[in-house]
Every structure is written in structure tokens, then in C-alpha cells.
Structure 1
Amino acid sequence: MESSPAELCEGLRHMSESMFMVLCEIVGTSQQVAIRRETTDITEMVERRVTPNDGVIQMISGSDREGFRLKGSDVDFMYWPNNHRVIMDMFQSEYYNIANTTLILSESYESPPGFTLLQLLTPTTLREVQSACVRMNDRVYISSSIYRQLTCSTVFSNSTVHGPCGSGSIAGIVEYDTAHCFVCDFWPLSASSWIDRCHLWPGPEVVDDIVRNGCHFVAIGHQLGPHKNEEWRFSFSQAEYKCVCAMNHCQFLTYGLLKLFLKEIVNQHLNENNKLLCSYHMKTCIFWVIEQNTLPHWCPQNLLVGFWTCFKLLLKWVYEGICPNFFIPQNNLFLTKVHGSAQNRLFLQLHELYKKGLACLLQSSSIRSYIIDVLYNPRLFVRADEILIKSEVDYDTELFFEINRTATVHTVNLHSCVKYLYTVEQLLNSPLTQYQVITLQKLTASVLQRTAFILHSMYTITGVNKQMYIADKISRQMPKLAAKFGFVSDMLYLAMYYYKTLRYREALSVIKMTKVKLAQPYLMHETHVHRERYTEAVGGQSWSTKMRQAVAQDILLYNKICYINELIPEQQSALQNRQPTSNIPVFVMLHFLEFLCYRHIDTTLSQAALDELQVLVHHDQGLYIHVLRDISWEILGICQQITGNLQAALYSYQQSLTQYPVHNIRTATQRRTQDVVQSTPHQ
């Protein structure tokens, strides 16, 4: 007996609700997505206010910024010089002080839609910009191809050119794209039609905010343009982020489903060179569908209808060979790739999936098992509220992980540190979300720690006793204060400061307290936590309390600052490879500091600390050290070398060299290995 249309509709609504719950599990609930966005937003807001006029602005963009944490997704960074500005018309130059701002003029009348030439109008002090200048028609232009090549590896060494970006991987785990670009404070005329189209979505406040913040230009030309090596592409990354934030959660999850559909079904068996569709096409597709109000009600019951509407639009685009850019529709995103026989093959592939209907989603490795479970147990995933999927522990884990990831300080300058604290103070008087307040709390702790070590190094160099005394008195209070409202692991910065200033007993007192806290069964370390014990101990308490009593993260060292003399060679080696920071597992740092301090007080207890460190490094199964094995073996080797156990030290250094080079310390390890070999008595 066949189902009636009403029964089929009811079945589709039920499947959509179930898929909504599945995607909340895979992509994230609305609260998780808010945590990811808001912690990044507030940190970036602070960074922009602190960055000097001649500094470089960094912005996380792409799917990571939008709130996705899908497995295998890359992280996109955009960088631009703060004192360079692109203008669209010469009259806009009156808004800038050319004494401290380099002006660049966008000339797009000869370029294809969405692309432009950038003419350098005033002198620049940036070496990369100077080197990328070419002369055409008696005017000076910045060549995108030269600039891209020059900046490709300035952030991460050994990056390779990929589109407008430098690409590579961090620790062999996270892939990244870094795009060096220029910013424009004005909305381009070629995108003005978008403003007129915005009747229903996004709202007028969002549109005003987008237009007020202008756009960027990334270093890649149109492959069919007359000046492909000199042209730059308009980038609307900021605008796209704000449009994604203007989506409701059902729309965002549909966008996530499109990304999974692309990665796990359409592009599953294709190598990088054969992929015609990318996630940017999926984003463009859902933007158009939402704006055109094709589906009036975006709700859990309609999620699969929304996906199918997007799929049909995508199929139409591939058939016609036209994918209109959302902001500049005249810019056909398919022009250089989706045409001819390749276009035909892609259309046939998508049409085969289309003929299967929603069953095509069974080919997705991420959601196949969920769909099968729903088919066999129809009521399995139907719940009244998405919030029921996640517990308090889940949200705490997400929040503290994101805070640790974003709330870092990028300066070794005392003036900038003071500016950080002043900026945080100002922001605390403005409207903030609960996630942003706790992020600022951790950021303040990081600034205080950084300032203490900067102050100490400054006045150690001067050698003036009175200044050193005053600086030390002030400096000592900073890591003390940070330890009172940072993570449990932040207490180790105070121990480091005491060790640095030869206060070994004070350092050991802090280490003992930290050791007790780190030994608690309810401790949340990175993303590892005993859920029941954590809930019993700190459940229902404020995030500030939880952070101070029950959360530990790895220790971040900025390589231009000396925290521990014994690690200077490693920090210098990392800096030579443009590695600005070092991450040391918190338990490795604990035993390392304990060993160093006891060396001056009690050799028996010093050996006991070394034994604990050795057991940890040799036998850890990824719980406490995870990917940071190169530095962990290195630290063990340093301790063994100090005690005179040269054979053990040599083995540890050799082990460090076989690990993935997360920290780029091979030069230091090889030098230490050589020292050990030369010091070993010959038989």
C-alpha cells in the first residue's frame, strides 16, 4: 500500500527534524557556534585596537571564523598592512593623512568584473610592496603575482603558493591558508547592486555594517584577464562572515550539510587538481537561496527541503556554466574551470545524485550511520530542543578550548602590553556577551604574564639596582594576579618567574599547589575531562570559578621572551624558522620546573622529579603530551644532560628528532646531540 502525499510530507518533516539534530551533533548547536564566533570576535577586536599604525592586522576568515569545526577543515588567515589603504576614487584621498598612510588606487575599468589593478599613489616603506611594483603606462602598479610570491612564507615557513594564499600544515594536523592583502574602507561601486537587492536578508543594520566596513583585495588575477599577473581580486570575506552570522541556525546547518555533501560525496574520490567545485560555491549557493526567499520558512522541519533547493540551484548553475558571485553577479565563478567536457562530466555526476533524491546523502561517511539509525528507529533523534544534545560539560569544554585558542597576546613590546590592558578596560564598559567577558579575563591574565617577563628582561639589561628592584616588585605582582583569575596552569608562569629570579623555594611552593590542583580527578585538561567528577566538583558554578579551579591548558611561550634560560637554544632555533611561539604540555612543564628548582635545594627530590618526567614522556599515550612530543623529548634530554646521564640524554634527543617537528627546534636538538657526543668518554 502506497503512502499518501500527506504521509510523505510528514515523513520528510520527521527526517528533516532528525537531520537537524544530527547536524547539531556534527556541526554544532547554536550555543557552540556562538562560543566559537564570539571568543574570536572579541580577541580580534582587542588586537585591532592595539595594533600600531605601522603594524599588520590579522583576521581569521573562512569556515573556521564562521563557526565550523569540521574534521579536515583548514584555517584561513588574512593579513594586511595597517597603514596602507585602497581608495576607489581620488576624492576619497582626503579622508587620509598621507604623511603616515600609503594610498593605493583601485583601477577596475580594464579588468573583468570582480578584479582590479592597484596603482601605488604615495610612497611605501614596506619592502614587499616596493619589490612588487611594476610600471605600466607611466604608472606604478603592485603586481599580485610578485607580491604573492614574496609574502607566501612570511607567516609560516615552507608554505607553498595556492591561489592567492600561502598554504601548508601546522603540526601535520591543521592545514592553513594565509592571504596577504590590502584593505579598502569603501564599498565598491561594482557591488552596489547588492545593496539594492537586500530587501529581506540580511537586515538593514547588517547591510549598513557591511557597507561601512568596505572590502579587501587578495593577490590573484583573473586567468583570462588582460593583466592576470598584475590584477587583484575583490575579497568580501568580512561581508560574508556577517552574512553567515545573519543566518538562523537551520540555515547555518544547511550550509554545513552542503559542505559535507561537497567533501564526502561530490569530491570524495577526486584529487585536488580535478575538483571543480569548492566550499565557496556552496556558500554562494545558500546565500542566493536565502536572499531570493525561495524557501519562506527555514526551520528544522524544512531543513532537507532547504538542502534540496540549494542542490537544484547548484545543478542549474553547472548546467548553464554560470555561478554568479553574490556581491558582484557579473563575476562568473565558473568561468575558468567549469566549462567544456569538465562541465559536462560534473553535470552528469550531479544529475545522477539528483536522480537518487535525498538517498544520495547515504554516500556521506559522516551522516550515513545517523540516517540508517533514523530509518530503523524513527523516534530516535526527535527531541524538543537542540540544547538537550549537549551538557554543561560539553559547552564548558568548547568554551575553554576556544578561549585558549584565541586569547593570546601577540607582542613583546611593553607599550603594547599597557595598551592591551587599557583596551580591555575600555571594552569591559561596553555591551559584551558572557563568552566575551570570560575571554577578556583570560586575555588579561596572558597580558600580565607577558608584561612581567618583558619588564624583568628590560631592567636586567640596564643593571641599575633601584630600577631593577622597582621593576621586580611590580613584575612579581603580575603573574601572581594572573594566577588568581587565569587557568590552573597559569600558576606555572608564576613559578617560572620565581625560578627566573632565583627564588627557588617560592617557585617550589607554587609548584606544589599547582601539582595538587592538577592531580584533581575533575580537572579539565585541554579537551579531556571526567564528566561526572567535573560536574560534581564545579557544575553550576561561574565560568570564572571553573577556569581558576578546574581547567588546565598547555603552556604557551613567546619565543622572543626568555622564560627559562635552559630553553634559550630551542626558542632561538624556533625563531630562525619563523616560529613565534612554543607550546609545552603542562605536566611536562610542571616536572621540568620542579627538577630545575630542586637542583638548587635537594638533589634527591630533583632526581624524583626527573623520574616522573621520564615516565610521562616514555609512556604517555597521547593524553598529556598529544602532538607536542618533539619538545617533550627535548626537555627530558636537557634534564638528563644536566644530571650527567649522557647516554639517556642522547637517546632523548634522538627521539625528539624522530617526532613531527611541531616546534622547529631541530637545529637546537642537533647542537645538543653534538655536545653530548663530544662529552661522552670514548671506550
Structure 2
Amino acid sequence: MTSNNDLTFITSGSFGEGLEMRGSDLDIMCVNKIFKVYENITTDNKSIVMYLLMETDDVKAGFTQLLVKQMGPEFLCQFCEELNGKHYFSSTLYKHELLRKANNECVLHGPCLSDKKGTSDYAMCIHRTTWIPQASQWITRSNNSWPSYKVKQSIIKHGVLFVPVGVKGSPKEDIEWRISFSVGEKLLINTFTHTKLICYALLKILLKDVIATESECEDLLCSYFLKTIIFWISEELPQSIWKPENLIPCFMRCLRRLIYSVDYSICLHYFIPENNMFENKIEGHARKILLDKLYKLHSYGWRCLFFSDQLSDFQVSMWMNPIEPHTLHTIEFAKIVNSKLLYLAFNVFYAFEDYTYLYQRGIDQTVSCHQSALKYLNTYVLSVLCGQYAQYVQLNSSRNSNKHQYKQYKSCLCTLLHNIYHDSVSGWLMLASFFYKVKQYSNALHIIAYSISKCTPEKICRFMDMSGSHYRFSDLQLSKKTSIVQLWKIMLIDNLTFARNSGLIPIELQMEVEHKEYRISSIVYAYFLKILCHYHLNNVRQCQDCLQTLQIIIDESYCMESDIMFQSESYKILGIALQLLGDSEHGESAQQAFMQSVELDPDQR
């Protein structure tokens, strides 16, 4: 996803596989580059912070211990445990140190740090760049056409990851690490035919909506087992079987294999078959209840899917109200705009601060791309990048000469002119923010007026409930064969995102970016910035008019995201504006606005 000198962020789970399932969270694997894992070491390499050796003797298949062969700086010793005269890298100590650094904003969830709202999981991993002997048989095992030689080589070239979690109940659980093939599994899923991907999605829906609703079955199965089953079947069957006309037989074959696995308590890991993932897990009374439920579902054939409310609703709506093709595309557009997983993924993207490399790479990819669909997508990403990159340009520094400051000014302005292609408003407002920072208040007001003119009722904000007029307008645009990215440029009023320590945020909001990025509703920021400009121009009447309009916008949630965080920030902005105007009446109103902000979001710092 993104990478810097210390960390690489890799999307995982459903979102990383290209599926957005109801109730899914965002899974991200954070690969720590300061540790290196080897099978054996022949020479010392002082450039590597800490050497770690795999030690798999007397460890369950699929897991390993990491023996510390070359100790790094003293602060890394806190992660080590001594056993039989040897030092091992402790998965438990490592997780707890990460939890401590998270300042009580996360909780431990298996090998992951999860935010308290349960929207995202971060697993801190260690990378081994070479393939491991435990999975060597996989390289030559399949003589079928799947996976192809090229895909296998890509998976082998990447190596494996180590996730900080041991075998539950093991006496050495604290120093054990699970071997993860997450990246290899993503590469395999990228080879799935559409039919195979649908089978996988349907199994996941059946598990979440039907099977796991029984309290006894809730924690017995997980999506990883379903994925493993499809991998094995894919290896056994010719690729020609996975065609649209065979969707039902393929799905039923997968369901029968799941029943077989539960019946015999066996689900072999795809890369390391010696690891039976059902061992000591699917057993006893809970296994019997699960098996009965699976057999009952199987008795309904493919119609068992309609026990899921997602699919039963779809069936009824298709019969009662035939869906026009444009409406179907509009619904998909609404899903993308309101995708919480996509939004969370961009949060990680925004948190990455080395924009110079990404910015240059974005330009290269956009220029060299010949496919129009990818060109639009690259333009979108480059537009977002420009908005972030420009925020790190030093505009006012006493150490710089006038000539250098002018060069920085031109560079920032040029970059921001490329920041207007990812939605209809926020890029223009970042440009207005730039003019405010360089005290060109009249220029800022012209751009703010243009931005506000684009905030019309038919436009869409993230996470808002779409009305009939929104669907009709997007239908009209889609009928012109407009791409999703082009449609965002026309229809979407995205929130404004200021990077950590942004150089473009007004000084009145500087506190908000001291420790993290800051997001604010575009329409709210537009009127707030307008108030600031008029304030500096001593336009008292205009300040009062803008303030009244801002209050109405916030009270009526006009062109605003429905997310509580944005509503809370809006009242905070209103409070700052009221406080700025200074008299006792405004002071009381400011206090009320701040209290309303805290009431909406009590957890804010």
C-alpha cells in the first residue's frame, strides 16, 4: 500500500482481496524492516539491526521461534526472553510494547492492535525475503495449471511474514510466531476467475450471516478456512470448470468440502499441509451443532443462501422492482462513495509522510499509462498526492532568501493546481487555504465563493443517505458513460484533509495537526475560511453574515457528512469562529458550541 525506510503497509483480509463485505474491518499488515529473519547466517552484517534465525524444532507446523543471533541496539533487548541459555524474540513482549505506544487508543486482538471502534486491525510483522523449507513441497506439488509458474515465482520471490502470535496453550507460546503467507494468498486470489471469486464471497456471506449466528458456532469457523478450501479445490480442478454457467455446482462443491472438513476435523494449511488448522479446535459438542447446521443448509441446495438477509432482500427486490442497468451502476457508485473500508484505507495513505517519492512515481505512472480507465485512476491518486505534497512546502521561513521563498511559493501553487481532480470542492479549498496563508485574502475569497457555488443539493458527501435526486443526477451522468473517477470529480464533495504539521492549515487550527492529520467537512471549512479572510480585512458585516450561514449549515447538516466525527469537528470550528469575534455574547455561544462538540465525540483529545 505504502512504504518508507522503516515500515511497509500491506492491506490484508477482505479489503486486500478486493471484496468489501458487510461488517468487515480494515486489516493492515505493518512490516517492520529493522528486523531480518534468516534460515542460517554465515557472515556478520553490521548494517542489519538485529539478526533473527528461524527455529522450528519442537514447534507446531506453521509456527516458528525466532532465535536472536546478532543483538542490535540496547533498546531491542526489551523484546527478548531467555530460554535454555538462548535469547528469543518474544511475540508477546513485542505486542505489549506496541500496545503501550498506542496510548490506550487500541486493544489487543490476537496478533493485531485494533482501534477501540473495531474498524481497523494492524498486525506488526517481520519479513523473511526467501522461501522457507517448511513450504518447499508446495513449489512442486501442483501439476495442474493453477497456480501458474509465473504466479508461483512471484509468491516465492516475496518470501513470508511472521505475525506475533503463538500456539494457544503452548508452554512456549510467548516466544512463538505464526508464519503468514498473506501476500502470497493475495496473489493467488488475484488469479481467481469471476465465478471463483463469487463462490468465495458467497461462502463468506453464508458464514457471517447464517452459520456464525449460533452462539455455539460463532468462533469455530473463519474466512481463512474458507479461503484455504477454495485454494485446495482450485488446485484439484481444471480452470475451465470455473465458468459462470457452473456457478451453482462450484458453490455446492465448496460447501460439501467444508462439511467434509468439519466432519473429519481436518483442514490442512494450503502451504504447510502438516498444519491441520482444525486440530484441537473443531471438536466436541460445538462441532456436532456446527455439523448439523451445515447438513441442514446443504439440504436446501443453493437456496440456503437466501437465509442471508443480504441475499433474500436482493431476491425480493429483483422480483418486485426490476432494476434498470443505470440504477444498478448508481447503487454501485453510492457503495464506493460510502465505503468505510476505502475511507479507512485512505487514512493510512494520508498518514504516510514521505510524499516526494509517491508524488514523482504518481506523475511517472500517469504520463506512461495508455489505458484510459487507469489514467483516470492515476490522475485521481496524483490529485490526492498533490494536495498532501504541497502541505510540506515551506512557504515562510526566516532562513530562506526572498528568491528561495518565491520559488517555494510558485512550486506550492503549481502543485495545488493539480489537486482539483479528485472531487468537486476540496482541491479548490486547499488552494484558497494557500492564498490565506500568504495573506492574499481577496484571491482566497474569490476561490471560496467558487467552491461554495459547487456545494449544491444534488452533490454527494461520504456516508450520507442518498435521496432520489442524487440517484437521478448520477443516473444522468452514468448514461453519458462517465467513469467512477470522473463522476467523483463532478458529484463528490469530499472532506478536506490536512496532513500532520501541515503548512497550509490556518494558524487558528494549527493545534489540530500537531500529532496527526486533520479532517473537516468542506462546506464548513469554506465558511470558516471566509470568516477568517473577512476578519483580517476588517469586514465586520461580512463576518457576521458568514457566521450566521455557518450556524445554519451545521444545524441542518447541509452538504455535510453524517459521520459523528465530522459533526463534532464542525461545532468545534463554529466555536473557534465565535471566539475569534470576541465579545461576551459570542463568548457564551462559543462555549456552547465547544460543549456540543464534546457531547458528540467525548473521546476527542
TM-score range, shorter chain: 0.7 to 0.9
The question of 1:75 aligning with 2:26 is answered yes
Q: Which amino acid aligns with 2:191?
A: A
Q: Which amino acid aligns with 2:22?
A: K
Query: What is the DSSP-based 3-state SS (H/G/I as helix, E as strand, rest coil) of the residue aligned with 1:209?
Result: helix
Larger displacement relative to structure 2 (99-108 or 62-71):
99-108
Aligned with residue 376 of structure 2, among 415, 418, 438 = 438
Aligned with residue 585 of structure 1, among 518, 521, 524 = 521
2:92 matched residue in structure 1: 145
The question of 1:244 aligning with 2:184 is answered no
Q: Is the 8 A contact 1:132 1:142 kept in 2?
A: yes
What's the CA shift string for 1:173-232, capped at 9, x where partnerless?
A: x62211111011112111122222332222221111111111100001112545211010
The question of 1:516 aligning with 2:464 is answered no
Q: Is the 8 A contact 1:118 1:142 kept in 2?
A: yes
Task: After TM superposition, list the pairs within 5 Å mapping 1:371-520 onto structure 2.
Answer: 371=315, 390-391=328-329, 394=332, 398=336, 410=350, 416-428=354-366, 434-456=372-394, 459-460=396-397, 462=399, 464-483=401-420, 487-519=424-456
Query: What is the DSSP-based 3-state SS (H/G/I as helix, E as strand, rest coil) of the residue aligned with 1:327?
Result: coil
1:313 matched residue in structure 2: 257
1:367 matched residue in structure 2: 311
Matched residues in 2 for 1:296 and 1:593: separation?
A: 60
CA shift for structure 1 position 88 = 2.4
Query: What is the DSSP-based 3-state SS (H/G/I as helix, E as strand, rest coil) of the residue aligned with 2:174?
Result: coil
CA shift for structure 1 position 522 = 5.4
What's the CA shift string for 1:565-590, capped at 9, x where partnerless?
A: 11123334xx2xxxx22221111111
CA shift for structure 1 position 423 = 2.3
Q: Is the 8 A contact 1:86 1:182 kept in 2?
A: yes
Query: What is the DSSP-based 3-state SS (H/G/I as helix, E as strand, rest coil) of the residue aligned with 1:530?
Result: helix
Distance 1:620 1:395, change over 3 A: closer
Aligned with residue 191 of structure 1, among 129, 135, 140 = 135
1:553 matched residue in structure 2: 494
The question of 1:206 aligning with 2:154 is answered no
Distance 1:64 1:330, change over 3 A: same
Q: Is the 8 A contact 1:403 1:439 kept in 2?
A: no
Task: After TM superposition, list the pairs within 5 Å mapping 1:45-444 onto structure 2.
Answer: 47-48=2-3, 51-52=4-5, 55-90=6-41, 98-100=46-48, 102-125=50-73, 127=75, 129-152=76-99, 154=101, 157-169=104-116, 172=117, 175-198=119-142, 199-270=144-215, 274-293=218-237, 297-371=241-315, 390-391=328-329, 394=332, 398=336, 410=350, 416-428=354-366, 434-444=372-382
What's the CA shift string for 1:652-679, capped at 9, x where partnerless?
A: 1111111135xx544xxxxxxxxxxxxx
Query: What is the DSSP-based 3-state SS (H/G/I as helix, E as strand, rest coil) of the residue aligned with 1:418?
Result: helix
1:611 matched residue in structure 2: 548
Query: What is the DSSP-based 3-state SS (H/G/I as helix, E as strand, rest coil) of the residue aligned with 1:90?
Result: coil
Q: Is the 8 A contact 2:384 2:422 kept in 1?
A: no
Distance 1:56 1:326, change over 3 A: same
The question of 1:530 aligning with 2:470 is answered yes
Q: Is the 8 A contact 1:445 1:482 kept in 2?
A: yes
Q: Is the 8 A contact 1:289 1:295 kept in 2?
A: no
Query: What is the DSSP-based 3-state SS (H/G/I as helix, E as strand, rest coil) of the residue aligned with 2:257?
Result: helix
Matched residues in 2 for 1:631 and 1:143: separation?
A: 41
Matched residues in 1 for 2:335 and 2:425: separation?
A: 15
Matched residues in 2 for 1:549 and 1:482: separation?
A: 14
Q: Is the 8 A contact 1:407 1:439 kept in 2?
A: no
What's the CA shift string for 1:99-136, capped at 9, x where partnerless?
A: 14543211112211000011223343594x43211122
Matched residues in 1 for 2:595 and 2:532: separation?
A: 22
CA shift for structure 1 position 442 = 3.1
The question of 1:567 aligning with 2:475 is answered no
Distance 1:261 1:217, change over 3 A: same
Query: What CA RMSD, in Å, does the superposition of the two structures yield over aligned residues?
Result: 3.3
Q: Which runs of 5+ in 2 are unaligned?
A: none
CA shift for structure 1 position 450 = 3.1
CA shift for structure 1 position 336 = 3.4
TM-score normalised per structure 1? 0.78
Matched residues in 2 for 1:474 and 1:237: separation?
A: 40
Matched residues in 1 for 2:9 and 2:448: separation?
A: 36
Query: Percent identity among equivalent residues?
Result: 25
Matched residues in 2 for 1:332 and 1:560: separation?
A: 49
Higher relative contact order (CA 8 A, sep 6+): 1
Matched residues in 2 for 1:615 and 1:372: separation?
A: 41
Distance 1:495 1:216, change over 3 A: same
Larger displacement relative to structure 2 (218-227 or 244-253):
218-227
Matched residues in 1 for 2:93 and 2:372: separation?
A: 45
Matched residues in 1 for 2:492 and 2:541: separation?
A: 31
Distance 1:62 1:154, change over 3 A: farther
The question of 1:634 aligning with 2:579 is answered no
Query: What is the DSSP-based 3-state SS (H/G/I as helix, E as strand, rest coil) of the residue aligned with 1:105?
Result: strand
Q: Which amino acid aligns with 1:553?
A: D
What's the CA shift string for 1:354-379, capped at 9, x where partnerless?
A: 344444333211112344677x78x9
CA shift for structure 1 position 348 = 2.8
Matched residues in 1 for 2:256 and 2:332: separation?
A: 36
Q: Which amino acid aligns with 1:592?
A: F
Matched residues in 2 for 1:126 and 1:79: separation?
A: 23
CA shift for structure 1 position 343 = 2.4
Matched residues in 2 for 1:311 and 1:419: separation?
A: 46
Q: Is the 8 A contact 1:407 1:440 kept in 2?
A: no
Q: Is the 8 A contact 1:407 1:442 kept in 2?
A: no
TM-score normalised per structure 2? 0.88
Q: Which amino acid aligns with 1:445?
A: S
CA shift for structure 1 position 536 = 4.4
Q: Which runs of 5+ in 1 are unaligned?
A: 1-43, 667-683
Matched residues in 1 for 2:304 and 2:73: separation?
A: 55
CA shift for structure 1 position 241 = 0.8
Name the count of aligned residue pairs: 591
1:41 matched residue in structure 2: none
What's the CA shift string for 1:458-510, capped at 9, x where partnerless?
A: x4253654543432343233223423776532111111111122211111011
Q: Which amino acid aligns with 1:230?
A: I
Distance 1:164 1:358, change over 3 A: same
CA shift for structure 1 position 271 = 8.0
